[in-house]
């Protein structure tokens, strides 16, 4: 059964993304797109003419998608969370290399920002994995979810995780990686047709990846995990609709001066 969920992961992520677009429209008091709009967009992209800058650039997009899919599959299978964080790091580096592999100034700038985003959130993901290990005694997700909920012992670490969720799903105030008004989509700028679709579907998988970390904080309670995911999902979209984008240096400063101390303080507290 778990393999069915893994196979359907991009579709599940697309449903989450579609639900988010509907929610944002309602928050802004507009009709918005239909719930299944992400899938309509996918079929539309398949109809478009595919232009390839060069073969490695195209292949890096495909490799990024499958590396992300493998990371999500590892979460569903309950593998080692620390290894999963590093698998995700590889997936992101493939995307960054894709941005650097072409001559477009927008693509290079987008890759620079993706790299800085990586520098901001990746240490927090590692600290989350370490914190969950200190409480559960295991890096395996299957071992983590057999314990009670982690909110009582890791509240500051959960707060740090909340601060990086907007970075992962590219929402204000940390949507610096796309910044449509400035860099026209960043690393995606030189992609079209089916290869752009791989990046589009990668966004669906990113939702599953980061919200899985939120779910794990529910521990053995599936209902608590689901409530945490729903609450964070709503909060991220509320903040997205109420804030403006910050500059890249500001994003890193906020994460390193707020999220990082919270995470480290919580780990020290657990160790003591």
> Does the pLDDT of residue 162 top 90, yes or no?
yes
Task: Name which of 29-33, 61-65, 122-126, 161-165 the model is least confident about.
Answer: 29-33
- Judge contact between 18 and 35, C-beta under 8 A: yes
- Segment 59-63 shows an average pLDDT of 93
State CA 133 to chain mean position distance. Answer: 21
Instruction: Say what the pTM is.
Output: 0.91
- Mean pLDDT rounded to a whole number for the chain: 88
Task: Name which of 48-62, 119-133, 224-238, 251-265 the model is least confident about.
Answer: 48-62
Instruction: Give the count of beta carbons closer than 10 Å to the beta carbon of residue 101.
Output: 20
- Judge contact between 76 and 9, C-beta under 8 A: yes
Bond preceding residue 219 cis, omega within 30 of 0:
no
> Does the pLDDT of residue 81 top 80, yes or no?
yes
Burial of 105-139, coded b for 16+ CB within 10 Å and e otherwise, reads ebbbbbbbbbbebbebbbbbbbbbbbbbbbbbeeb
- Judge contact between 204 and 10, C-beta under 8 A: yes
Percentage of residues of the chain with pLDDT beyond 70 = 97
Domain span including residue 29: 2-271
- What pLDDT is stored for residue 220 in this prediction? 87
Counting the structural domains of the chain, the total is 1
């Amino acid at each position: 059964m778990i393999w069915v969920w893994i196979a359907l992961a991009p579709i599940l992520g697309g449903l989450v993304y579609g639900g988010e677009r509907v929610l944002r429209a309602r928050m802004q008091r507009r009709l918005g797109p239909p719930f299944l709009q992400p899938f309509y967009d996918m079929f539309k992209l398949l109809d478009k003419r595919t232009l390839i800058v060069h073969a490695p650039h195209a292949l890096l997009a495909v490799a990024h998608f499958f590396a992300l899919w493998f990371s999500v599959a590892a979460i569903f299978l309950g593998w080692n969370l620390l290894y999963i964080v590093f698998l995700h790091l590889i997936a992101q580096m493939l995307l960054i290399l894709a941005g650097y592999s072409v001559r477009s100034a927008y693509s290079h700038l987008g890759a620079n920002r993706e790299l800085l985003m990586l520098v901001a959130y990746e240490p927090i993901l590692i600290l989350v994995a370490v914190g969950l290990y200190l409480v559960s005694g295991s890096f395996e997700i299957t071992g983590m979810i057999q314990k009670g909920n982690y909110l009582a012992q890791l509240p500051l670490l959960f707060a740090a995780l909340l601060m990086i969720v907007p970075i992962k799903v590219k929402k204000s105030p940390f949507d610096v990686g796309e910044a449509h008004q400035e860099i026209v989509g960043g690393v995606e700028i030189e992609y079209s047709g089916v290869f752009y679709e791989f990046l589009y579907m990668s966004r669906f998988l990113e939702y599953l990846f980061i919200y899985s970390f939120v779910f794990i904080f529910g521990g053995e309670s599936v209902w608590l995990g689901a409530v945490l995911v729903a609450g964070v999902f709503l909060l991220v979209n509320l903040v997205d609709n109420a804030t403006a984008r910050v500059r890249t240096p500001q994003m890193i400063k906020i994460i390193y001066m707020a999220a990082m101390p919270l995470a480290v303080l919580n780990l020290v507290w657990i160790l003591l």
